[in-house]
C-alpha cells in the first residue's frame, strides 16, 4: 500500500538579521527551498519592510514582519546604539516571532522549521518553544566564522598579542591585519564583538548548521552544510525561472543609466567601484580613491551613496565626465555580469566577493571593517582572484596604490593569471548549486528531512 501523502508542504520561517547583506543570502536560500517544494515565509523587521522599496518586493517568497522594538527607525533609533538595540531586538523579536508561529498555526499552515541567522541565536529558543526544527544559517565565510568560533571557545585570547603568524586551526598563518576588525580591535566594537562571538552560544543545539559558501571553496575549514553561493540562479545554474535579482533593495538602483553607459564601452575596459550599503569612508580616503581612479586612465563606474557624495573632491565629476560615471546605487549583478567590466574595486564584503567569484570578475580588495579584512586575505593569497590594496602607516590607501592595483589587475601577466583562476572558481560555483552538486545535495537532504519529520 502507498503511504498517505502529507496534506501540506513543509513550512519554513526564515529569520535574517535586518541588514541587506544578511537578507539577500537568506532570501536566495529561501528561493531554492521553494523550488524544491517547501513553503517559505521570510520574517523581516517592520522597519526594513517599510524601507525596502516602499515595502514591495519582486521576490516570489511570502513576507511577514516582526518587530525589533524600533519600527520607525531601526538600529539608528536606539539612543544607546547597538548596546541598547540588540537586547531590545532579542526581547521584542522573540515575542513577535513566536506570534507569527501561533498565527500560522491558527491559519492551518503550521510552521515546521525556523531557519535563523546566526547573529540571532534566540531564533533557536523560539523554535524549541514550539517543538520546531531549528536551522542556524551563517551568512559569512567559513574562515571568518572559524575565527569567531575560536574566540568564543577561548583558543584565541583577546586582545591579540601576536602581530604575525596567528594560528587558527584550518586557516593559513594570519597577521593581525588579516583578522576581522571586531577581533583585531576588540575595544572599538564591544557590542558587535559580543554579537559575532555569541553566534556560537547554542550552535551545538541546532538541528542543522548551514553556511553561505560552497565545499570546494572552503573544504578544509569546517564540516558544515554548505548551501551557496546564494546569488540568483540566472547567474549560476539557471534552473530557477525568473530568478534574476535578489528581490529586496534598500536603495533604488539607477539601472538604465548604468547599463546604457556600460553598453557604450568595449569589453573589459571598465573598473567598477562599490563599497556596499553600509561603509562610510573618510573624506581623505574618498579623495585618494577618486584621484587614483582618474590617474589610472580607465573608464570607471563608481557607486557613491547619496549620503557619501558630499565627500567627493570638488569638481571631480566634472573633470572625469568623459571617462567616469558616479551613481547613487546600481544593479550590481547586472553590472558585474556586463562584458565591459574588467575589474571590481570593493570592500570585499562576503556577498560581493561571492558575486565576483561566481561571475569571474577580478577584484581589488580595499577592506574597511568587520569580516572584510579576512576576505581580502583569501581573495589575494588563497583563492588568487585579485589583489589587496595596502594601507600606509595611517591606515590610508593612497592614490598611487589605487592606481597601481587597478593597473595590475587590468593589464599585465598578474591580471591574466587572476582571470584564469576566476574562471575556475566560477565553474566550481555553478557546479556546486547545479543538480547533483555539493550545495544542491545538502539542500535536498535538508528538505527530505523536513518532509520526513
Predicted confidence at residue 162, as pLDDT, reads 82
Predicted confidence at residue 58, as pLDDT, reads 60
Percent of the chain clearing pLDDT 70 (strictly above):
97
**CA atoms of 70 and 78, how far apart (whole Å):** 7
Do the strands 113-117 and 62-66 form a parallel or antiparallel pair, or are they unpaired? unpaired
Q: What is the mean pLDDT of residues 405-410?
A: 97
**CA atoms of 54 and 167, how far apart (whole Å):** 46
Q: What is the mean pLDDT of residues 47-73?
A: 83
Is residue 114 within 8 A of residue 127, CB to CB? The reply is: yes
Q: pLDDT tens across 235-258, in order?
A: 999 999 889 999 888 888 999 999
Locate 405 and state its grid cell. 592595483
**CA atoms of 400 and 296, how far apart (whole Å):** 9
Q: pLDDT tens across 66-124, in order?
A: 999 999 999 999 999 999 999 999 999 999 999 999 999 999 999 999 999 999 999 99
C-alpha distances (whole Å) from 200 to each of 122, 197, 371 are 11, 6, 17
Q: Is the pLDDT of residue 15 over 80?
A: yes
Q: Is the pLDDT of residue 20 over 50?
A: yes
Q: What is the mean pLDDT of residues 346-356?
A: 97
Burial string for 85-100 (b: 16+ CB within 10 Å, else e) reads: bbebbbebbbebbbeb
Predicted confidence at residue 224, as pLDDT, reads 83
The dihedral region occupied by 289, where left means phi > 0, alpha psi between -120 and 50, and beta the remainder, is alpha
Q: What is the mean pLDDT of residues 262-290?
A: 96
Q: Is the pLDDT of residue 131 over 90?
A: yes
7 pLDDT band, cuts 50/70/90, is low
CA-only gyration radius of the chain, Å: 22
Do the strands 225-226 and 270-274 form a parallel or antiparallel pair, or are they unpaired? unpaired
189 pLDDT band, cuts 50/70/90, is confident
Predicted confidence at residue 53, as pLDDT, reads 53
Q: pLDDT tens across 136-170, in order?
A: 999 999 999 999 999 999 999 999 988 888 999 99
Q: Is the pLDDT of residue 443 over 70?
A: yes
Ranges of beta strands (E only) in 370-443 are 386-388
**Which is nearest to 75 in space by CA: 127, 17, 125, 152?**
17
Q: What is the mean pLDDT of residues 42-48?
A: 96
The secondary structure of 192-216 as a DSSP string is HHHHHHGGGSSGGG-SEEEESS-TT
Predicted confidence at residue 164, as pLDDT, reads 84
Return mean pLDDT, the chain: 94
**CA atoms of 214 and 443, how far apart (whole Å):** 12
Q: Hey, what domains does the chain have and what are their CATH numbers?
A: 11-247+435-452 (3.40.50.2000), 255-429 (3.40.50.2000)
pTM, two decimals, is 0.95
Locate 365 and state its grid cell. 580588495
The secondary structure of 298-340 as a DSSP string is SEEEEE--TTTGGGSPTTHHHHTTTTEEEES---HHHHHHSTT
Q: Is the pLDDT of residue 57 over 90?
A: no
Q: Is the pLDDT of residue 1 over 70?
A: no
Amino acid at each position: 500500500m502507498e503511504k498517505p501523502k502529507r496534506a501540506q508542504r513543509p513550512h519554513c520561517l526564515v529569520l535574517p538579521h535586518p541588514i541587506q547583506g544578511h537578507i539577500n543570502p537568506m532570501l536566495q536560500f529561501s528561493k531554492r527551498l521553494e523550488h524544491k517544494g517547501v513553503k517559505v515565509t521570510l520574517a523581516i523587521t517592520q522597519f526594513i519592510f517599510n524601507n525596502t522599496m516602499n515595502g514591495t518586493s519582486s521576490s516570489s517568497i511570502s513576507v511577514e514582519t516582526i518587530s525589533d522594538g524600533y519600527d520607525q527607525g531601526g538600529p539608528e533609533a536606539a539612543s544607546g546604539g547597538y548596546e541598547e538595540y540588540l537586547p531590545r531586538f532579542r526581547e521584542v523579536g522573540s515575542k513577535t516571532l513566536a506570534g507569527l508561529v501561533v498565527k500560522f498555526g491558527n491559519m492551518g499552515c503550521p510552521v515546521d522549521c525556523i531557519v535563523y541567522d546566526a547573529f540571532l541565536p534566540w531564533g533557536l529558543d523560539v523554535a524549541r518553544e514550539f517543538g520546531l526544527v531549528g536551522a542556524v544559517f551563517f551568512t559569512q565565510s567559513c574562515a571568518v566564522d572559524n575565527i569567531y568560533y575560536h574566540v568564543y571557545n577561548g583558543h584565541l585570547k583577546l586582545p591579540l598579542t601576536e602581530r604575525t603568524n596567528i594560528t587558527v586551526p584550518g586557516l593559513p598563518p594570519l597577521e593581525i591585519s588579516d583578522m576581522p576588525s571586531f577581533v583585531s580591535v576588540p575595544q572599538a566594537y564591544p557590542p558587535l564583538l559580543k554579537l559575532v562571538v555569541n553566534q556560537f552560544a547554542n550552535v551545538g543545539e541546532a538541528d542543522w548548521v548551514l553556511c553561505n559558501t560552497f565545499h570546494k571553496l572552503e573544504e578544509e575549514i569546517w564540516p558544515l552544510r554548505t548551501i551557496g553561493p546564494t546569488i540568483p540562479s540566472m547567474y549560476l545554474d539557471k534552473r530557477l525561472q525568473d530568478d534574476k535579482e535578489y528581490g529586496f533593495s534598500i536603495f533604488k538602483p539607477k539601472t538604465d543609466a548604468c547599463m546604457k553607459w556600460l553598453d557604450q564601452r568595449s569589453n573589459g575596459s571598465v573598473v567598477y567601484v562599490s563599497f556596499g550599503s553600509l561603509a562610510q569612508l573618510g573624506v581623505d580616503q574618498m579623495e585618494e580613491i577618486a584621484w587614483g581612479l582618474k590617474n589610472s586612465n580607465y573608464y570607471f563606474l563608481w557607486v557613491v551613496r547619496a549620503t557619501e557624495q558630499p565627500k567627493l573632491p570638488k569638481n571631480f565629476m566634472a573633470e572625469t565626465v568623459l571617462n567616469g560615471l558616479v551613481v547613487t546605487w546600481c544593479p550590481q549583478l547586472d553590472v558585474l555580469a556586463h562584458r565591459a567590466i574588467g575589474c571590481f574595486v570593493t570592500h570585499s564584503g562576503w556577498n560581493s566577493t561571492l558575486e565576483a567569484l561566481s561571475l569571474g570578475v577580478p577584484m581589488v580588495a580595499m577592506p574597511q571593517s568587520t569580516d572584510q579584512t579576512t576576505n581580502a586575505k583569501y581573495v589575494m593569497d588563497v583563492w588568487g582572484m585579485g589583489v589587496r590594496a595596502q594601507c600606509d602607516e595611517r591606515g590610508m590607501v593612497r592614490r598611487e596604490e589605487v592606481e597601481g592595483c587597478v593597473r595590475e589587475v587590468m593589464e599585465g601577466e598578474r591580471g591574466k593569471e587572476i582571470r584564469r583562476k576566476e574562471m575556475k572558481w566560477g565553474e566550481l560555483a555553478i557546479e556546486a548549486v547545479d543538480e547533483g552538486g555539493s550545495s544542491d545535495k545538502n539542500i535536498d537532504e535538508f528538505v527530505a528531512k523536513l518532509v520526513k519529520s
